[in-house]
Structure formats: structure tokens, C-alpha cells
Structure 1
Amino acid sequence: MTVPLRLGYKASAEQFAPDQLADYAVLAEEMGFDSVFISDHFQPWMHEGGHAPAALPWLGAVGARTSRVLLGTSVLTPTFRYHPAVVAQAFATLGVMFPGRIILGVGTGEALNEVTLGLDWPDPPERFQRLKEAITLIEKLWAGERVSYEGNFWQVTDATVYDRPTTPVPIYIGAAGPAATKLAGRIADGFITTSGKDPKLYTDTLLPALHEGLSKAGRPADAIDTLIEVKVSYHPDQDTALEKTRFWAPLALTPEEKTGIHDPIEMQRRAAELPIERAASRFIVSTDPDEHVEKIARYVELGFRHLVFHDPGADQEEFLRMYGAEILPRLRARFGE
């Protein structure tokens, strides 16, 4: 079975005020995008000019202003700032209000969002175990009338989520390594990752881990939505397309350069030291719409069927109108949509 191609918009919570960002999400629906995803950060990557709106109220506001697009987090961490039961309640409420349109995307988290609140920041293995247990608890609360649960990290007694949607809220797992990717294949409704990294990461590590997880769980390959955030900078002027990536230079830092940093000022300082070519290295930067389609097509050919486009520029209205008019129709024509 061929899984339909979905083309989405990444609402850059770290870059725009929440009301402005909501307007962009509405425009994305008007321009033919299929989904809108937002990150849930307590602090942005950049201190100067950065934003960090809370994802949960924002999703409710945007859901009320739209009628068709899927809405989700890419990603939220249900293991430190939030108790998993609170996440279960919140997304059940969103699912009741906007049936069939809400996605809970989860991940193991960033120090940037948690350490500043005085929370301990454990090593990756514990963060992974916390995520597994959080998903288990969320699903139990969505499935059961009354839940008592005692795990390694959380306990609930006679807990009930009273307002549960008739259409289940899918859970997607965001991952950049094999363990969480394999978990997504085993238990999740979707897998989330990001573009612009070493091609071998996808071909030799992530996709084999995803297929291994699916196989171990006895699930077919099309049982899971494969979502990739595709970082693009499209503009008729090459210098403008290149310079637009500057705000998102932190994405070009290696894991060793940014792991454990909890202060946006320090993240900004390190990013500012990068040359523009390295700042742009995670993005497809081109003035040619056909070149964009060719480079995006590589991810579709790898097996990703849900492409969520992240443009780094200040003028998101210009991006949405240009991409909606010039790139989305080309992609749909090429892949038979």
C-alpha cells in the first residue's frame, strides 16, 4: 500500500511571537499545507530575538482558527517539566476539541528546557527509560477508566482522564539515534527526525533501526508515519537565501558543542562564531524551485512520507506563499498526489 504524501509547515516557535506564529499557521492551511508542527521549548536557541511560546495553549488557539490541517508537537518532552498524566489530559482535551487533527510528538528532551528550572538532567539512558515509561502511562490513561500505576519514575493512584476523544491521538517519537528510533518502530504511530545530517545517519542507522523495531513488533512497514523536518531556504536571491539561515546557526553545532548547554546566551555565542557556510549547512539553500524538489525528493525516496518544511527567514508569509505556489504542486505532481 502506498502511503499518501503529506507536506507540512514547521511553525518556528523559537523565532516568532505566538500571535504572529498563529497567523502563519492559518496561512499555511490556506496555501495547501497538510500539517503544522510546533516545538515546545521553555527557552529558545537564541537569546536575542528569540521566543518560546507554550505549545499547548498555542495548539488550542490555532485549532480554533483552522479546519483541516493536522496539528502537533515536534517535539514535547513528557518527562521533566510535565508529568505524563498532565500531558495525557491536555492532548485528550485537544483531541476532543479537534478530532482527528491532533498529534502528540514526544522526545527525550534538551537541557536548554529543563536545567534552568532546577531539574536534574540525567544521562541519555535514563532519559530514554523515562520516555518509554511516560508513553506507557499516557496510553494507559487514555485507555482505562481508572488507572493506578507504579513505575520507576511516576506513580498515579485511581487516576482518570475524563474527557477522552473518540478518535485516538497518535503518538510520534522524535529520534536522532537508534534506540529511540527502534522504539518508534515498536510502539509509536509516527517517527520524527530532521534533515541535513550525514546521509549515512539515515541509510545506515535510523531507517534500519526503524525497520528493526517494526519487524520485532510484527508490524508492516506502512504501520507508522515517517516524518522528517526538511530545512529549506528558498529565495530568488542566492545571498538572501544563504543569509536567512543565520538565526538558526545553533542547529549546525555538533552534539558535542551543544550538549548540556542550558543558557540561550551561551548557545547564541557559540553559534555566532560559525561562518555563514556552516550555519547554512543543515539547509537546502537554492534559488531554483526544481533544485529544491530534487533535493527534497531524496528524502521521499528513502521512505519519508511526511515532509514538514522549516524555513529560517524572517518573512514567513513570503515563504509560505512561494513554497505553497511553487514547490508543493511540483512535489505532489512528481509523487502522484
Structure 2
Amino acid sequence: MRIDTTLIEKDLLVSGERAVRAEESGLDAVWCTETGLDVFLQAYEVARQTESVHLGTAIAVALARTPMTVAYSAWNVADVSDGRFTLGLGSQIKAHVERRYSMQWDRPVSQMREFVLALRAIWSSWRTGERLEFEGEHYTHTLMSPFWAPRPHEHHIPIHLAAVGPKMVEMAAEVADGIILHAFTNPSYLDEVTFPAIERGLAKAGRTFDDIEISIPMFMAMGDTEEEVAKRQREVIAQLAFYGSTPAYRPVLDAIGHGDLQPELTALTKSGDWDRLAEVVPADFIDNFAISGSPEEMPTLARKHLGKRADRTSSYYGWPVGDPDRLGAIFEDFRQEN
């Protein structure tokens, strides 16, 4: 199991500095996010500041962009990083796509599938010089002259898709190089919904689990004292309650018998009563989604929680450890076989 970190930053320069520290600590990958800045600018900064650590987007909101705009950004970051880049894409949800980005929300699974195919057609045209001819139901790309083509390179750009619902998961398993599952998940949902959908998608494409990489970020409530762990647990519960307010995520709650919480959490977000979100979830709610303990306990707890379901994981809130040697020992433990 590879161990990564996710940058939840609003400052590009800080992002680069933290990526350097991640590389020095022996992490396998640094994933950039859309938390108040452009994810590709953040990825570019990470690529420029680091030398060996892998990097990617987790995620870039695909449906806020077009395949062509994403193709250029991903191509350029792959170039400047000397092939260390993975393109992670997600659809986002209808409210954000329509009301925040003012973009079309039609049939997201179909849109995302076609987005991936369009990207590969564009990149193939740039590599081979052949005429660009992609005509789909949602996207059409049929114009590309040498003047507009970017500098050539031969770096493969893996495409990973974020997915929660079974239809999106199945499609991702069929066409993508990897799947980024949401941290807001639990073993019951993984076993009952997610992995059966992955198996269906792989079967459609005649592929196996060896052909796809599965990433499952985790909520890790870490600390060296009981007080530190308890503080982090309160933050995790608040974030879980926020995610639980999303109607599309109700099946994740249904899997652990807490589906009825979703309408109550939604009502609180609509009324702006954010501080009460964490108050309505039961005491044992966090154990379905998160692991708690010291940093050194995380590898054992993660393997117990995830089993052999994940090829890679990361800590949602990063690592509250400043000692590179200590971190290196922890990360090496993650890579050991179960």
C-alpha cells in the first residue's frame, strides 16, 4: 500500500513548500486539490519545486472545464514534471457545476466517460500528428493545427476518476487507469456497493484488478496524546457530518444504518446552522469512517480498516509530525504486506 498526502491549501507557495517536505519525508505522491485555487497551477508549482515524488490532481473538476482545456493543462504539467503526473478527474455535483461554474450538467456518468475518451483522442493527435477527429454526444473536437499543438513529449498521463455512486464507479473501472474513492466511505459500502461495481466495470472491458489502481483516502484522527486525538476526532466528525448532508451520499449512510441522518443534516446546512452538524451524529459514527490513534498506529489501523482493498491511501488532514525520520519509518510500515 503506497502512502500519499493531499494538499488542502489556498496558497500556491505554501503548497510547493509542503510538497518539498512530503518528498523529503518519503511519501509516494502529492495530490493537489481545488480548495480555493486552480488545481493545475498548484500541480505546476509542486512539479517545479520537487524532483522525484509523484504528483496528481485529486481532483480537477472535469465538468467545470472542457476536454481540450484539461488536455492542455495536464499535458503541460506532465511535461514539466518529467512524467511524474497523474490526472485525477471528478464530476462534482449538480449544484456546483450549474450554480458555481455555470456549466452544463446533463448525464454525468456519460459525460465523464466521454471526457476520458476525448482526452485520449486529443493527446493521441498531439503525439502522432494525425488529424483530430473526436465526435461524441457531449463533446466534439475536430480542429487542431500545428500552431496550437503543445510541445511534444512521450510521457504517459494516467487518468484516474473519482467516484462514489455505483454507476460512476462501474464506468471508471471500465475506462480509467485508476479510481479515486471518496474518504467519505466505510467498509460496508465498499463491500456492498463499490467493489461489486468495480468488478462489473472491469468485466465489461475484459480487465482485472491488476489493470487498475484503487486509491482510498482516509480520515486519520492522529495525535501523541489523548487530548490531541480527541481534538482531531471533533474535526473529523464535523467534516463527516458535512459530507453526510449531501443527498447523493445517502447510500453511504444507508450502508451503516444511518440513512435517516441525511435529511436532518441537509436541513441544517440549508439553514446555515453549520455548528450543529456534528451534534446530531451518534457517538460511534466516526468509527465507520475513520481510524484514531498515534501516527505510528496508522499503518496497522489502516490495514485493518481497508483490508487489501486499496493500492494507495492518504491522510485527509495530513500528518501532525515534523520529524522526517519518524515519518519515513511510518510510511515504510504502510508499504509492508498485510
**TM-score scaled by length of structure 1:** 0.80
Residue 275 of structure 1, CA deviation: 3.0
CA–CA distance in 2 between the matches of 1:189 and 1:99?
19
CA–CA distance in 2 between the matches of 1:271 and 1:68?
41
Residue 158 of structure 1, CA deviation: 1.7
Query: Which residue pairs with 2:188 in the alignment?
Result: 200
Q: Structure 1 189/323 Cα, relative in aligned 2: closer, same or farther at 3 Å?
A: farther
CA–CA distance in 2 between the matches of 1:129 and 1:192?
18
Q: Which range is displaced more, 191-200 or 271-280?
A: 271-280
- 1:69-115 deviations in whole A, cap 9, x for unaligned? 11111111222x21110101111111122133100111111356434
Q: Structure 1 142/320 Cα, relative in aligned 2: closer, same or farther at 3 Å?
A: farther
2:241 is the alignment partner of 1:252: yes
Query: Which residue pairs with 1:129 in the alignment?
Result: 110
> Of the candidates 76, 79, 101, which is equivalent to residue 60 of structure 2?
76
> Of the candidates 129, 133, 141, which is equivalent to residue 148 of structure 1?
133
Q: Structure 1 23/9 Cα, relative in aligned 2: closer, same or farther at 3 Å?
A: same
Q: Structure 1 288/187 Cα, relative in aligned 2: closer, same or farther at 3 Å?
A: closer
CA–CA distance in 2 between the matches of 1:267 and 1:243?
26
- 1:93-142 deviations in whole A, cap 9, x for unaligned? 1112213310011111135643444615636xx12221111111111001
Query: Which residue pairs with 1:61 in the alignment?
Result: 45
CA–CA distance in 1 between the matches of 2:17 and 2:28?
16
Higher RCO, 1 or 2 (CA under 8 Å, sep at least 6)? Answer: 1
Q: Which range is displaced more, 241-250 or 230-239?
A: 241-250
2:296 is the alignment partner of 1:289: yes
Contact kept, 8 Å, 1:95 with 1:169, in 2: the verdict is yes
- What SS is found at the alignment partner of 2:61? coil
Q: Structure 1 164/239 Cα, relative in aligned 2: closer, same or farther at 3 Å?
A: farther
- 1:222-281 deviations in whole A, cap 9, x for unaligned? 111111112212111223223235556244335554669xxxx95894442123795982
> Of the candidates 227, 239, 247, which is equivalent to residue 239 of structure 1?
227
2:18 is the alignment partner of 1:34: no
Contact kept, 8 Å, 2:113 with 2:175, in 1: the verdict is no
Supply the AA of the counterpart residue of 1:141: I
- 1:175-197 deviations in whole A, cap 9, x for unaligned? 11111111122111111113453
CA–CA distance in 2 between the matches of 1:319 and 1:232?
17
Supply the AA of the counterpart residue of 1:252: A
CA–CA distance in 1 between the matches of 2:101 and 2:85?
31
CA–CA distance in 2 between the matches of 1:259 and 1:196?
12
Q: Which has the larger radius of gyration?
A: 2
Q: Structure 1 18/269 Cα, relative in aligned 2: closer, same or farther at 3 Å?
A: farther
Residue 329 of structure 1, CA deviation: 2.8
Supply the AA of the counterpart residue of 1:24: R
2:2 is the alignment partner of 1:6: yes
CA–CA distance in 2 between the matches of 1:54 and 1:61?
11
- What SS is found at the alignment partner of 2:55? strand
- What SS is found at the alignment partner of 1:327? helix
Query: Which residue pairs with 1:49 in the alignment?
Result: none
Query: Which residue pairs with 1:335 in the alignment?
Result: 337
- In structure 1, list runs of 5 or more residues that go unmatched: 42-51
Q: Structure 1 84/270 Cα, relative in aligned 2: closer, same or farther at 3 Å?
A: farther
> Of the candidates 213, 217, 222, which is equivalent to residue 225 of structure 1?
213
Query: Which residue pairs with 1:48 in the alignment?
Result: none
Q: Structure 1 268/250 Cα, relative in aligned 2: closer, same or farther at 3 Å?
A: farther
Which runs of structure 2 are paired with 1:156-167 in the superposition (5 Å)?
A: 156-159=141-144, 161-167=149-155
Supply the AA of the counterpart residue of 1:11: L
**TM-score scaled by length of structure 2:** 0.80
2:120 is the alignment partner of 1:139: yes
Contact kept, 8 Å, 2:12 with 2:45, in 1: the verdict is no
Query: Which residue pairs with 1:177 in the alignment?
Result: 165
CA–CA distance in 1 between the matches of 2:119 and 2:245?
32
- What SS is found at the alignment partner of 2:206? coil
Contact kept, 8 Å, 2:12 with 2:42, in 1: the verdict is yes
